[in-house]
Amino acid sequence: MFRFFVSSKDVLTKSIRLNADDSGHIRSLRLRPDEKFIICDGNNTDYICQLGERSNGASVEIVGQYESNGEPGIKCNIYIAYSKGDRLDYAVQKSVELGVHEIILFESERCVAVPHDIPKKVKRLQRIALETAKQCNRGIIPVVSSTGKFNTMLDDAVEKSAYTLLFYEDEDNVHLKDIMEQQLSFTSISLITGPEGGFEPFEIDLARSKEIPVISLGPRVLRSETAPVVALAAIMYQTGNL
């Protein structure tokens, strides 16, 4: 079924108000009055809806509801360094598909490109997150945001989650499997991946000074858009959410 998102304040007792974009989209689909589609309130509740015989296009009828089944049992925030081109587009899209809770962008020392207009970049990536959430039956729209420099990012990551991991291409001794075998009870986690040029050694030292585990994603060096997707997929698998 087709899927849309609305604000929870637009969900009424027996109907849901639509914004102009969604109303126009639904009209363009030429749905029958009794044809069912899904509207999610972004708070993990799905509503089965139909246009109804008296629809004016501004609201739809609620005919049923249930808890969304697309949300994992772990809140995973992923911190991705800025990168050039459309690499962030890919990372955001695939992270949303895999069940990420929030995506936070940050500036690292070796970032090849940092957007001149960060709010515009974030807004564009948020749109990608919205469209992907519709496609893959998410119960929320993961938020895309930015948090500034590396040190600020580390503090934010630790504050937001019960556990934090930083993935480093030059780490040879500690692997994700080793960490996951020891840590299986947390309900939230922050994952940090670097830019095209990798992390500077002083950044790794700073992370370790904050007692953030620095670990490897294997013997192959992954691209900046691949590393967050691989890390997230591994966490989801290990915690039974994949």
Torsion sign (Cα): 161, 173, 233, 240? negative
Fold of 3-67: Ribosomal Protein L25; Chain P (2.40.240)
* Residue found under tokens 């500690």: 174
pTM (two decimals): 0.90
Region of poorest pLDDT, from 28-37, 97-106, 232-241: 28-37
User: In this structure, what token pair is assigned to residue 141?
Assistant: 């729209």
- Give one word for 57, left, alpha or beta, with left for phi > 0 and alpha for psi -120 to 50: left
Provide the 3-class DSSP secondary structure of residue 167.
strand
101-157 residue pLDDT tens: 999 999 999 998 888 999 999 999 999 999 999 999 999 999 999 998 999 999 999
CA dihedral 179, 156, 78, 68 (to 10 degrees): 100
Torsion sign (Cα): 211, 212, 217, 223? negative
Kindly list the domain boundaries of the chain, sorted by start residue.
3-67, 75-238
DSSP line for 66-81: EE-S---SSEEEEEEE
From 2.40.110.10, 3.40.50.1860, 3.40.1280.10, 3.40.630.40, which CATH number describes the 75-238 domain? 3.40.1280.10
Average pLDDT over the chain reads 92
Region of poorest pLDDT, from 45-54, 74-83, 129-138, 141-150: 45-54
